Structure 1
Amino acid sequence: MSKLQKIGIIGSGIQGVSNALFLQKKGFDVTIFDRDEPGSPAASYGNAGHFSPYASLSLNRTDILLDVPAMLMSSSGPLALKWNYVPKMIPWFVKFLLNTSKSKMMHTAKNMHQILDLALPAYDEIFDEIDDLDGLVENKGILYIWNDKDLKSRELEIKVREELGVEQQLVNKHEIHDLEPHIRPFYHAGVFYPYARHARNPKKILLKFFDLFMKKGGKFNKLNIKDIEFDGDKPTFISEAQRFVFDKAVIACGAFSKKLTDNLGEKIPLDTERGYHVHFKNCDHLLSRPVIFQNRGFGVTPMEQGLRVVGTVEFGGLDNPLSKSRIKNLINNAKYMFGDLPDHEDEWLGFRPTLPDFLPVMGPSKKYKNVFYCFGHHHLGWTLGPISGKIVSGMIAEENTNLNLNPYSSSRFS
C-alpha cells in the first residue's frame, strides 16, 4: 500500500481528531473538515469530561421502560421530550424498545465492554506524544451515589458489571462522606470506580490533540461538507464552492453524520439525545472528582471553569431551541446536592449521537468500501474517541485484529 494515501475526515471533535492521529501513525496523509473551528461548543467541548471505562451498561435496559413515564412526569427527572419532535422519534423509539430485552441488553454491554476495556490505553498512546498535559487529566476515580428509592436498577447494573469483570467498589454513607464531604447527606449508598479519570477542561485536551495532528503535517479546512460523490470509487467531498478527492473518507461528525449517510443511501437510525450543562464558577473546590446522582440522572465534574453540572436526556432533534426548563432542572439539582451556590454561567446545549441499540457505528459504509463511519457513541463519545480512532484506522489500513467488529457495523440496520 503506498504511504501517500489521502484520507479525508469530516468532523473535528474527539472522534475525528483521534481517527486522524491514528491514521497519521500509519503513514496516511490526512485532512480534517469541519464547518466550525476545533473545540467549538459542540459535544467534545461541553461533555461531562468523564473517562468512564466501566460504563458498559447503556440505556437499553430491561428495567428502564417501567421508569420512563415517571421520569417524563418529574420536573427533577433525567428525561424530557420536545413534543413537536415526538412524531419523528417514533420509529427510533420502536427500534429502541426492541433492544431492551435481556439478550439485547447483554449484547450491547459485552460489546461496549470490549472497547471500553481498551479506552484508557488508547488515550495514553496519544497522551505519550503530548509534551505537557498541564494537569488537564485527573486520576481520582468517579463516584455514583443514590438514595434507596432506586435500588432495583442499581442491583442490575452492579450485577452486569460484575459479570463482565468491571472493577467496582460499593461504598456506604460514611465512605461517600469521606470521599466528598461537601455533598449534602441525602444519599444512602454508591459505587466508586477507582481507575476512572476526568478532564479538567475537555476543550483544551481536544485542542492539544488537534495541535499534535497539525504538527505532524495534518491539514484542516473550515468548510461545511454538504455531500460525498464518487470519482470512480474515490470519495469526493463537496462544499459550497469546492471539491476534494480522497482515496478514503471517514464520517465522524457525531449527531450530524446522518445527513451524509442518508445521502449515501444508507438509512442508519441515528438520532440525538440533547444534553445540557451549566457552570458554577470558582466552586470546583467543593468536589475532588465527578459525582453522579443516579436518581435524578445528573452529574457534577470539578473543572477549570468551575463546577460543571451536566445531564438530562432530551429527545428533540437538532433544530429545537435550548429548553430553559432543562437548565433550571440542572440548577435545582446542583443546589439539592450542595445547598447554596452562586449564580450559574454558560448555558450550553449539545447533541449526543445515539443509535437504538446503544452501540456505535464503526467501519465501512455498506455501499461504498472507501467510506468509513465512526459515530453514534451516545454518552461515551469522549471516553471512546481514541480507541474508536485506533479501530477505524486499523480497518482503513487493512490490518488484522483480534476484536470482533461485526457488532459495530452499519449493516446491522439493513
Structure 2
Amino acid sequence: MQRGGRRVTLIEADDVPRGASYGNAGHIAVEQVAPLASVATLRNAAQRLFVRGGALSLPPRAIRDWLPFALRFARASTPARFASGRAALGDLLGDAIPAWERLLHAVDAPHLLRAEGHLIAWESPATAAIGRAVWMEADTGTARVRDADGADIRLLRALTGDRVIDAVRVDGSAQIADISALLERLRAAFVAAGGTLVRHKARSLVPQPGGIAVDAVGMFGNVIVAAGVASGGLLRPLGYRVPIIAERGYHLQAPVAASAWPTETPPIVFEDRSMIVTRFAGGLRAASFIEFTRADARPDPRKWRRLHDHAAALGLPIGEDAERWVGARPTLPDYLPAIGRSERHPGLYYAFGHQHLGLTLAAVTGERVAAMLRGERADARFALARFGGRRGLG
C-alpha cells in the first residue's frame, strides 16, 4: 500500500508480536494445497487425538468453543467444497514464494528466504510405506515430492542416531531463515517509508460518514482488519458472521551449535510424531499440535512435555531449559482465509483466518489487499459472505 502512495498506520497491540506466524515453524508451505476440511481428515480424526499420542487436542473444558466449529467443519468437508477449496488455495499458494521474493527484494533482505525445500521422515517401515504412498500421490501445487537422496538420508541418520529409516524431499517449498530479523526488517522499512506505528489493542470499529473510527485512535478512510483470531470480535458487531476459532500450536526452541545441527539443514517433518523441526539463525525449534480452544486459555504443559519426549527420543539438542511458546492460529471452518472488502461499509477490508498458512500467504495476501484498494475485484471465494450474515457484508 505504501508503494502505491498511501499513508499507512499500523495499530498493533504488542511491541514484540509473538503470534502464530512468529511461533510456528517458519515454513513456507506451498505444498499444503489441500484444505484440512476434508472427508479424509474426518475419517482419521480419532486416530490423531492427543490422548492417543497424536497432535489433535479437543479439551473438554473448551467444548463450547470447538463443538460448533466442528459441526461447521464437517459441513465444509464435502467432496464438492473440498475441491473448490483446493482450487482456491492453489491459486494463492502458487504465487506465495514469488510474492515473498518481491517483498524481501523491496526491503533489501532476500537472504531471509531459503527456498531449498524440506524433508519428511519416518521411523518405521510401515509408516514409511503409508506416508510415502500418500505424498507421492498428493496434489502439492507448485512443489514436487521425490525420494530423498543418499546425502539426505545420511544427514537424517546422523542427526537422529539412525532413528530415521526413510524420507522424501519436497522441492519448491521454503523457509524464513530468521523470523526476528524478518520482523525487524519489515518494521524498519515500514517506518522509513513514512508508516505510523500505534501501540494499542483495537476493540471496536465505528463506521461514520467519511471513514471508520478505530476506538479513540482516530478516523481512517480505509481500515483493514488483519487481527487474527481477534478479527471476529471486531467484525461481529457490524453484522458479519465470522466462525473463527483459535487453533493453538506449541513449540520448544533452544540454541544450537552448527556442529550439532548444520545451518543449511532444511525443515524436517517427523511425520510419525506430527512434529516439524526447523533450524533458525537463533536456534533449533520443534513445533506441533492442533489444540482447539480459546486463544487466552491456560497452556497445557503436557504438550511441551511431549515435545521434550520426542526431542529426547530422536536425540535432538533441545533440553529441559528450552524456550516455550504457545500461540493461536486463526482458523475458519473451511480452512480458507477471509480476504475481501465490505459492500455495506465503504472503506472496510479484511485479511485473516489463514490457519497453518499465515506466514506462507502473508506476502501474497498483502499484494491482494493492496490491489483491492486500487479498485481491483476481490476474489469471491475468500469473501466472508460464504458464511452468511447480513446481505452485502462480503
TM-score (norm. length: structure 2) = 0.90
Whole-Å separation in 1 of the counterparts to 2:14 and 2:317: 37
Residue of structure 2 in register with 1:375 after alignment? 352
Between the aligned partners of 1:306 and 1:109, the Cα distance in structure 2 is 34
Q: Which runs of 5+ in 1 are unaligned?
A: 1-22
Structure 1 counterpart of 2:38: 61
The RMSD of aligned alpha carbons is 2.2
Corresponding letter in the other structure for 2:238:
L
- Structure 2 residue matching 1:161: 3-state secondary structure: coil
Change (3 A) 1:293 1:74: farther
Amino acid of the residue matched to residue 161 of structure 1?
D
What residue identity is the alignment partner of 2:234? L
CA distance in 2, matches of 1:319, 1:129: 36
Map residues 5-154 of structure 1 onto 2, 5 A cutoff.
Answer: 23-37=1-15, 39-72=16-49, 74=51, 76-132=53-109, 135-146=111-122, 147=124, 148-149=126-127, 152=130
C-alpha distance in 1 between matches for 2:82 and 2:71: 15
The residue that corresponds to 2:261 in the other structure is 286
1:74 Cα deviation after fit: 3.8
- Give me the whole-angstrom Cα distance separating, in 2, the residues matched to 1:73 and 1:251: 33
**Deviation digits for residues 237-256 of structure 1, max 9, x if unmatched?**
11xxx241111110001111
| 5+ long unaligned stretches in structure 2 | 389-394
TM-score (normalised: structure 1): 0.86
User: Which of 262-271 and 39-48 deviates more?
Assistant: 39-48
Change (3 A) 1:266 1:62: same
Tell me, in whole angstroms, the C-alpha distance in 2 between the residues paired with 1:340 and 1:363. 44
Match of 1:357 among 334, 341, 351: 334
* SS of the residue 1:131 aligns to: coil
Other-structure match for 1:272: 246
Q: Please give the secondary structure, in 1, of the residue aligned with 2:359.
A: helix
Which of 204, 222, 226 is matched with 1:248 structurally?
222
User: Quick one: which amino acid aligns to residue 59 of structure 1?
Assistant: L
Aligned residues with identical type, % of pairs: 24
Distance, in Å, in 1 between the alignment partners of 2:169 and 2:6 is: 41
Task: Tell me if the contact between 2:143 and 2:171 (Cα under 8 Å) persists in the aligned partners.
Answer: no
Secondary structure of the residue aligned to 1:25 is coil
- Between the aligned partners of 2:133 and 2:237, the Cα distance in structure 1 is 43
Structure 2 contact 12–201 (Cα < 8 Å) conserved:
yes
Does the alignment pair 1:217 with 2:194? yes
Tell me the amino acid that sits aligned with residue 78 of structure 2.
S
State the aligned residue count.
382
Q: Residue 34 of structure 1: CA displacement?
A: 1.1
Instruction: Measure the CA separation in 1 of the matches of 2:92 and 2:127.
Output: 32
**d(CA) in 2 for partners of 1:58, 1:157:** 15
1:20 alignment partner in structure 2: none
1:153-164 pair list within 5 angstroms: 155-161=133-139, 164=141
SS in 2 for 1:342: coil
Which residue in the other structure is 1:231 paired with?
Answer: 208
What per-residue deviation string (whole Å, max 9, x for no partner) do you get for residues 359-405 of structure 1?
000001353232111000111100110100000110111036xxx81
Deviation digits for residues 301-343 of structure 1, max 9, x if unmatched?
0112321011111111112111100111111122222367533
User: How many Å separate the matches in 2 of 1:235 and 1:249?
Assistant: 7
Whole-angstrom CA distance in 1 between matches of 2:374 and 2:249? 35
Q: Specify the SS of the correspondent of 1:356.
A: coil
Q: Distance in 1 between the 2:318 and 2:217 partners?
A: 51
